Amino acid sequence: MLLYTVRMVRTMSGVQPTGNLHIGNYLGALVNWVELQKNYEAFFCVVDLHALTQRPDPAVLQRAVREVSIGILASGVDPEKATLFVQSEVPQHAELAWVMTCMTPLGDLNRMTQFKDKSTQQPDNINAGLFTYPILQTADIVLYRAEAVPVGDDQDQHLELARETVRRFNFVYGETFPEPKTVRSQAPRVVGLDGEAKMSKSKGNEVGLFETADETMQKLRGAKTDPARLRKSDKGNPDVCNMFAWHGFFTPQAQRDEIAAGCRSAQLGCVDCKRMLAANLEAVKGPIRERGNELRNNPGRLDDILAAGAAKARVAAEATMELVRDRIGLRKRR
């Protein structure tokens, strides 16, 4: 009798526990996490070690790890299908990061634009972790020998660096890791309420995943639209309006066509357009908020999910580390 074992291809991704999840995280990454868990062996991680580069207050970090985990689960990541865990509970991440540090030329890190951005954002704390941040990210991915990494387009450079490091490692020590590919969603770069910058917690231009309908409408009121449309009687151009771009993520085509026509003819005002958007956003966020509240009311369940996730991740991680230690010439552990 022939026995076949079918190994599923692996996917891996992470999100930082810095503040609350927003609809950019949801549209750019989480929707794909939910999709990929169906057909891949999935490892999803709350990357608390990465967050240390911002030196968060310990109590704030603890809370953010829980809230972000709740957000991931409430968005539809199913712990029966995917392994959800906290990075620091799998010590192999830090171990492999050191190995990868020794595989990464300084020149490659010097090119990372995120390091430059973060250095400007926190000029009083330009720590070495900020600089080697992409190496830890590479370790996160290759620790699971993952081939698919669902992220927004702000991670392109980090993923390219990960692929280069994998190639270098495989060249030096023999074929060990597959090259990880980026998986893009329909919205790899969601622009924030200001209509200018990428939505991000640090810019304060975000709509939080757990915000109530009222809070969201309040924020949408102040959101930028077509800059040339000053009065309702002015004809607008939906092609240059960020709110119309958001409709693209939440609103069915037929309603979008109506909105576009109403905007161009000045029959539909921006406030009404935003009300429709708020309603469609709420249709997505409402159920997520409800699932989030259920999880918050049952803290033991979250602890169980994260403990089980870490235990599973550690088994997969240790298998890779045994291979890596052998390849690079470290002593076998007994």
Active-site residue set:
118, 198, 201
Q: Supply the minimum distance, in Å, between the C-beta of residue 117 and ligand TRP.
A: 11
Question: Which residues face 224 on adjacent strands?
Answer: none
Binding to ligand TRP (CB under 6 A): which residues in 50-89?
Answer: 50
Binding mask 120-159 for ligand TRP (x = CB under 6 A): -----------------x--xx-------x-x---x--x-
| Shortest separation between residue 121's beta carbon and ligand AMP, angstroms | 12
**CA dist., res. 146 & res. 129, Å (int):** 23
Q: Which of 23, 42, 47, 82 binds ligand TRP (CB under 6 A)?
A: 47
For residue 57 the two structure tokens come to 């207050």
Q: How far is residue 269's CA from residue 234's CA, in Å, rounded to a whole number?
A: 9
Full DSSP string of 12-39: EEEE--SS--BHHHIIIIIHHHHHHTTT
| Residue-by-residue DSSP string for 231-288 | STTSPP-GGG-HHHHHHHHHS-HHHHHHHHHHHHTT-S-HHHHHHHHHHHHHHHHHHH
* Token pair for 277: 């958007």
Q: What part of residues 27-46 is at the interface with ligand AMP (CB under 6 A)? A: 28-29
For position 203 contacting ligand AMP by CB under 6 A, the verdict is: no
Residue with smaller CB distance to ligand AMP, 152 or 269: 152
17 binds, among ligand AMP, ligand TRP, none (CB under 5 to 8 A by kind): none
Place of tokens 């020794």: 102
Nearest-approach distance from CB 155 to ligand TRP, in angstroms = 6
Which of 11, 13, 225, 242 binds ligand TRP (CB under 6 A)? It is 13
Return left, alpha or beta for 329; rule: phi > 0 is left, psi -120 to 50 is alpha, else beta: left
- Nearest residue to 328 via CA among 164, 105, 96, 93: 96
In whole angstroms, how close is the CB of 268 to ligand TRP at the nearest point? 36
Return the one option of ligand TRP, ligand AMP, none that residue 24 interacts with (CB less than 5 to 8 A, by type): ligand AMP
Residues 33, 30: Cα–Cα separation, whole Å: 5
Count of residues that interact with ligand AMP, criterion CB under 6 A: 17
Q: Which residues bind ligand TRP (CB under 6 A)?
A: 12-16, 47, 50, 137, 140-141, 149, 151, 155, 158
Instruction: Name the residues that contact ligand AMP, by CB under 6 A.
Output: 15-16, 24-25, 28-29, 151-152, 154-155, 187-190, 198-200
